[in-house]
């Protein structure tokens, strides 16, 4: 059974550009969450989707957006990149609706470097 | 707001037991999780415990939950060098602005041969 797949694994972008990251959840999982991980702030929640609907959003500026498709695949977009957006972006999928346990399975992440 | 705290570092000798501790603040948490992160990798779910349980054992891993003190611990028996990683404690919250999983900062476990 394939795990959570995130593409690309590594990205280097220039300040001011935009970027799109992709996440394919485990087959059958309908809940997808995104987290940003940095050495200083740790793991911070970006957003969560369930059945194509955004169920929850973290405290990030509007430059960060996301969506989920009918096949549960999710994308997140960051526009007008800043140096501080350099981070590991992690996607997690879950079988159940938010808060019903069963655990979240994480992908290997996309390492974004903004120069 | 919700908060999860862990000590940042733990160093043990190979073959010893490791105990990683965590405290959380939200008494309505339904599940508590332990994740492991190796360098350059994502988070691997190690185990989780439902909030009405006191203990859960899974091979070399033992999770203890003291709900009164909001204290969670992960014990790794017979620690090996391959256990060197960062361990994250997380509590589940439904609908909070920090998301459904609130993570601690992680405990870096170093295992010396």
Task: Give the tens place of pLDDT for each residue, A53-75.
Answer: 998 889 999 999 999 999 999 99
Say if residue B72's pLDDT is above 90. yes
pLDDT at A101: 56
Shortest Cα–Cα distance, B34 to chain A (Å):
10
Chain A residues with CB-CB distance to B97 below 8 A: 45, 56-59
Residue of chain A whose alpha carbon sits nearest to that of B96: A56
Question: Residue holding tokens 């190690």?
Answer: B46
Shortest Cα–Cα distance, B94 to chain A (Å):
5
**Top-ranked range on mean pLDDT: pick from A67-76, A102-111, B34-43, B86-95:** A67-76
Q: What residues in chain A have their Cβ under 8 A from chain B's Cβ atoms?
A: 4, 6, 33, 35, 42-46, 48, 55-59, 90, 92, 98-99, 101, 103-109
Say if residue B1's pLDDT is above 80. no
Shortest Cα–Cα distance, B43 to chain A (Å):
6
How far apart are alpha carbons B86 and B90 in whole angstroms?
13
**Which phi and psi (to 5°) does residue A84 adopt?**
-70, -5
Neighbours of B104 (CB within 10 A): 25
8 A C-beta contact, residue A63 and residue A76: no
Give the whole-number percent of chain B exceeding pLDDT 70.
93
If DSSP codes are grouped into helix, strand and coil, which group holds residue A49? Answer: strand
Q: Is the peptide bond before A8 cis (omega within 30 degrees of 0)?
A: yes
pLDDT at B97: 60
């Amino acid at each position: 059974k394939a795990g959570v797949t995130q593409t690309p694994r590594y990205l280097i972008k220039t300040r001011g550009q935009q970027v799109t990251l992709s996440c394919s959840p485990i087959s059958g999982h309908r809940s997808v969450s995104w987290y940003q991980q940095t050495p200083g702030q740790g793991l911070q929640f970006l957003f969560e989707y369930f059945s194509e609907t955004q169920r929850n959003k973290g405290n990030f500026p509007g430059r960060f957006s996301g969506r989920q498709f009918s096949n549960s695949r999710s994308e997140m977009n960051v526009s007008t990149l800043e140096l501080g957006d350099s981070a590991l972006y992690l996607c997690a999928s879950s079988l159940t609706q938010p808060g019903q346990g069963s655990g979240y399975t994480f992908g290997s992440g996309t390492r974004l470097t903004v120069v | 707001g919700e908060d999860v705290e862990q000590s940042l570092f733990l160093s043990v000798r190979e073959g010893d037991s490791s105990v990683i501790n965590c405290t959380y603040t939200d008494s309505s948490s339904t599940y508590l999780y332990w994740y492991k992160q190796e360098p350059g990798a994502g988070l691997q779910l190690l185990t989780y415990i439902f909030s009405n349980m006191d203990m859960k054992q899974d091979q070399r891993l033992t999770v203890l939950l003291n709900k009164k003190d909001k204290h969670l611990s992960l014990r790794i028996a017979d620690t090996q060098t391959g256990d060197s990683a960062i361990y994250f404690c997380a509590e589940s919250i439904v609908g909070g602005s920090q998301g459904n999983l609130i993570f601690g900062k992680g405990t870096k476990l170093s295992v010396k041969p």
